[in-house]
Structure 1
Amino acid sequence: EDPKGVPVAALMFGGRRPVGIPLIYQAYTWAHGVMIGAQVKSEATAAAEFKGRQVMHDPMAMRPFLGYNFGKYLEHWLMLEQPGRKMPKIFHVNWFRLDKCGRFAWPGFGDNVRVIDWALRRCDNEDCAVESALGYLPTKGSLNLSGLNVDWDAMFSLPKEYLLEDIEETIKFLDDQVGSDLPQAIKKELDDQLHRIQKM
């Protein structure tokens, strides 16, 4: 209840991704996290301007509500990082990935706190993550899965061909929609992620 506000430790982006995107991953840097937000995609819901089950671009998980030039919007996010300022860590969550049988790989609802617990431990710099092409992933055993019957690979595997197609399509989308207004820092993060996926 501090009228001056309280520190924000973590920011979480997320979308409904039935294929390919892990349960949670953490950005390497603030700029990488802003790029992760810019490339959010999701199956369309009633809150979106499109209907149906197709996966669509949903930058920052708020596409219908972006009120001005998205390139300038991203610049504003990037400018929030200043020398000496402790920035929140950025995560992407995906509660909706499906397993090989078409069932949700993660139970969701109250069990999501298990994933949030990992993110908060990462905010305290706990060594419970491994580098991947997308960002930091939980190390096996670092999520509290007590009482759950879940398949780790169904939640965290990274299918290279799918991810390559996904990032290439994202780069094209942002080039088409934002063009020269896309900040150079975001272009670099997109290129870096493309190269990491290519090296998988």
Structure 2
Amino acid sequence: MIKLAPSILSADFSKLGNEIKELEKNNIELIHIDVMDGMFVPNISFGTPIMKSIKTLTKIPFDVHLMIEDPSRYIEDFAKAGADIITVHYEADKHIDRTINYIKSFGIKASVALNPGTSVNLIKDIISDLDMVLIMSVNPGFGGQKYISYCSKKIEEVKDLADKFNPNLMIQVDGGITKDNIKEVVSKGANVIVAGSAVFKNNHIESNIKQLRGALV
């Protein structure tokens, strides 16, 4: 089953609670939470207080994407704030194996993200320990960017590794996903799709979700 993970970075924060309820009404599988520190990426978003406040509103699992330097410092905080999956960037962590195990020690799923220019081969030795791999198909930090075409090859490479070493791996893609390219991305092996602008644009959440799902048929 293909899971949709709308990124609330693109939501209208003046009515965030209502928009999360709209996601729930449309049977969304994951809520993607982009955490940015202004150092690893050139932007700042939000942290655990926002997560705690919205956790009471929904039972949809929280997919927390840490775009921050030295993410292991904050794993416990995000786990306690309600994360169900925590993704750390390979590029931001000096001891990625230790961090993966640290995430799992809280009883939640562990994921590693790769920026567009980072080779898939770098995670070959740890892929059997992961619950998810996130392929960034834009350079992280801002919403509304265009999908980078060579990332399709990277999705295929992750799928090949998953078939060999971790058949249950979730393969997530984040960046530039629209109704026009979602089917191709899934055909390469992705099974978890992050969409921000494509879900929340024009305040037409329900119809946007239907278009994305309809494009997969």
Q: Structure 2 length as normaliser, TM-score?
A: 0.25
Query: Which structure has the bigger radius of gyration?
Result: 1
Q: Structure 1 length as normaliser, TM-score?
A: 0.26
Write 1 or 2 for the structure with the bigger share of strand: 2
Higher relative contact order (CA 8 A, sep 6+): 1
